């Protein structure tokens, strides 16, 4: 959605004086539009406002920095669960689902960018909910977003404890490892702008890429190759849990509004999205197929546990930065939502004083403590991913994007063959969201109930 352009040359058939009159009229129209924007109530304005003289400026992200942040918050836990998902579904259906969901996630991410362009005041899902359904929509999607992000933070803390247990041969109580992960994650969440976090994203990507390559080589050396099943005979609970793990690998959409809000130019969002999707689809396919090819039906989740003990320890050690950093990005955006909501309409978010800094640190610490409690309460990696996907990722990745598109195009849904096609595509997105939510909740709930190893707040080895 490009901004209006001022005519710079007189149209054919008009003299220069008339052309100048057109220029002045259009400029006055633009000035009036900007004035209307400035006069909107605080709840309808950009959360960061005018930053020309601000001490802390948020809207500083370049498109490639945004893309790397998107890669870091998406390509982490997801890739670790994919080989087990392939084992649970069979090679053929898993690859088809992975590619199709990846392409669909690219499209739904683009819709989020369109919605942001149409309503520049949006900086999180709560703002989008307010556009859709007023105050009720704001509270509903705001609560859903913060709960989802806390659950993802919990997943990263849980993965950290699994990694530390694997590296140290269960050197101490798992709860202690969880506390260490929480403290490190909190410390890395203290910077208040995403631009300051962007350098971490590059470290995160290099970390997970190296760890996955080491795991593929290690599994290939340890196992000459096991039986590969094109299709697996499974039941609803296990099969749909595997699908949920694939969906989780594309679940970064909940953070997209927050990332786009800190871009210098929000129109660069598609570039960042293409960088993300090009990397994650390619890496997911290669890692999932190769590790399953050699790890077989018993491949571990997270996948780094499928190699020999020594290689597994090395891979987990190298993967520690991405395990931490990916969760930190979610923690940062969750904290930013609470922080901007508390101080919206004031200049406090742009200050460097003790009140601003202390409030940010207190919010971040509170969210990480809640995430640690959840991680200790549901200490089963794949089950926690399935539960998160069913409750939230089903809507943030697919269902809500369909609703956004229908809202943007209401009144012209059947105005052309292209609109008719896209209308049915987005109705399909909503249907996918509903299906993933209902069946995923059933599958993950059953798995949590039936798993005898899911003891809460335990010192036991969960590697």
**Using an 8 Å Cβ cutoff, are 163 and 175 in contact?**
no
How far, in Å, CA of 433 to CA of 198, rounded?
A: 31
Q: What is the pLDDT of residues 25-50, one digit of tens each?
A: 444 443 444 444 344 454 455 668 77
Q: What is the pLDDT of residues 3-19, one digit of tens each?
A: 444 333 333 343 434 44
How far, in Å, CA of 260 to CA of 192, rounded?
A: 16
Would 144 be classed as within a structural domain?
yes
**Residue 430 pLDDT > 60, yes or no?**
yes
**Using an 8 Å Cβ cutoff, are 260 and 66 in contact?**
yes
**Residue 112 pLDDT > 90, yes or no?**
yes
Give backbone dihedrals phi and psi of 263, rounded to 5 degrees, phi first: -75, 145
pLDDT category at 423 given cuts 50, 70, 90 is very high
Burial class (CB in 10 A: 0-12, 13-18, 19+), 214: buried
Determine the pLDDT at residue 305: 67
Residue 29's region, left for phi above 0, alpha for psi from -120 to 50, else beta, is alpha
Comparing CA positions, the residue from 345, 254, 256, 253 lying closest to residue 44 is: 345
Number of domains, the chain: 1
Would 360 be classed as within a structural domain?
yes
Determine the pLDDT at residue 385: 66
Determine the pLDDT at residue 384: 66
Determine the pLDDT at residue 224: 65
Q: What is the pLDDT of residues 176-212, one digit of tens each?
A: 999 999 999 999 999 999 988 888 888 998 998 898 8
Residue 76 DSSP code:
T
Would 36 be classed as within a structural domain?
no
Domain holding 281, by residue range, is 62-450
What lies within 8 Å, CB to CB, of 304 at 6+ separation is 80, 163, 166, 211, 215, 312, 315, 316, 319
Pick the more confident residue, 404 or 440.
Answer: 404
Q: What is the pTM assigned to this prediction? A: 0.83
CATH number of the domain to which 350 belongs: 1.20.1740.10
Would 29 be classed as within a structural domain?
no
Residue 41's region, left for phi above 0, alpha for psi from -120 to 50, else beta, is beta
Would 21 be classed as within a structural domain?
no
**Using an 8 Å Cβ cutoff, are 70 and 202 in contact?**
no
Comparing CA positions, the residue from 251, 275, 325, 322 lying closest to residue 63 is: 275
Would 28 be classed as within a structural domain?
no
Would 33 be classed as within a structural domain?
no
Pick the more confident residue, 234 or 269.
Answer: 269
Would 43 be classed as within a structural domain?
no
């Amino acid at each position: 959605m490009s901004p209006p352009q001022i005519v710079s040359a007189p149209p054919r058939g008009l003299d220069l004086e008339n052309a100048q009159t057109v220029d002045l009229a259009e400029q006055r129209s633009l000035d009036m539009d900007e004035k209307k924007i400035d006069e909107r109530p605080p709840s309808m304005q950009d959360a960061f406002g005018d930053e020309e003289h601000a001490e802390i400026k948020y809207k500083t992200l370049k498109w490639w920095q945004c893309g790397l942040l998107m890669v870091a918050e998406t390509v982490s836990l997801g890739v670790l669960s994919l080989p087990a998902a392939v084992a649970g579904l069979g090679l053929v259906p898993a690859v088809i689902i992975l590619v199709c969901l990846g392409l669909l996630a690219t499209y739904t991410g683009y819709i989020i960018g369109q919605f942001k362009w149409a309503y520049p005041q949006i900086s999180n899902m709560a703002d989008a909910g307010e556009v859709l359904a007023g105050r009720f929509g704001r509270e509903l999607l705001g609560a859903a977003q913060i709960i989802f992000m806390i659950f993802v933070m919990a997943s990263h803390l849980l993965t950290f404890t699994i990694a530390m247990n694997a590296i140290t041969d269960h050197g101490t109580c798992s709860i202690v490892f969880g506390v260490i992960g929480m403290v490190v994650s909190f410390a890395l969440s203290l910077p208040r702008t995403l631009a300051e976090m962007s350098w971490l994203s590059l470290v995160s990507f290099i970390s997970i890429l190296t760890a996955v390559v080491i795991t593929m080589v290690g599994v290939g050396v340890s196992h000459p190759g096991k039986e590969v099943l094109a299709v697996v005979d499974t039941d609803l609970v296990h099969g749909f849990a595997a699908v949920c793990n694939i969906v989780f690998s594309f679940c970064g959409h909940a953070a997209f509004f927050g990332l786009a809000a800190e871009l210098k130019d929000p129109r660069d969002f598609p570039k960042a999205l293409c960088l993300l999707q090009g990397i994650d689809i390619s890496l997911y396919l290669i890692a999932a197929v190769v590790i399953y090819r050699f790890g077989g039906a018993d491949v571990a989740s997270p996948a780094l546990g499928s190699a020999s003990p020594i290689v597994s320890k090395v891979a987990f050690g190298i993967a520690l930065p991405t395990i931490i950093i990916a969760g930190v990005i979610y923690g940062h955006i969750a904290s930013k939502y609470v922080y901007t909501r508390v101080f919206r309409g004031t200049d406090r978010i742009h200050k460097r004083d003790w009140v601003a800094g202390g409030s940010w640190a207190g919010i971040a610490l509170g969210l990480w403590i809640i995430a640690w409690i959840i991680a200790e309460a549901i200490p089963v990696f794949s089950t926690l991913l399935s539960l998160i996907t069913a409750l939230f990722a089903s809507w943030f990745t697919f269902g809500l994007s369909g609703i956004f598109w229908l809202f943007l195009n209401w009144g012209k849904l059947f105005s052309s063959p292209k609109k008719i096609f896209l209308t049915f595509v987005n109705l399909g997105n909503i249907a996918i969201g509903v299906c993933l939510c209902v069946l995923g909740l059933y599958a993950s709930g059953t798995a949590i109930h039936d798993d005898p190893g899911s003891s809460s707040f335990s010192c036991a080895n969960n590697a």
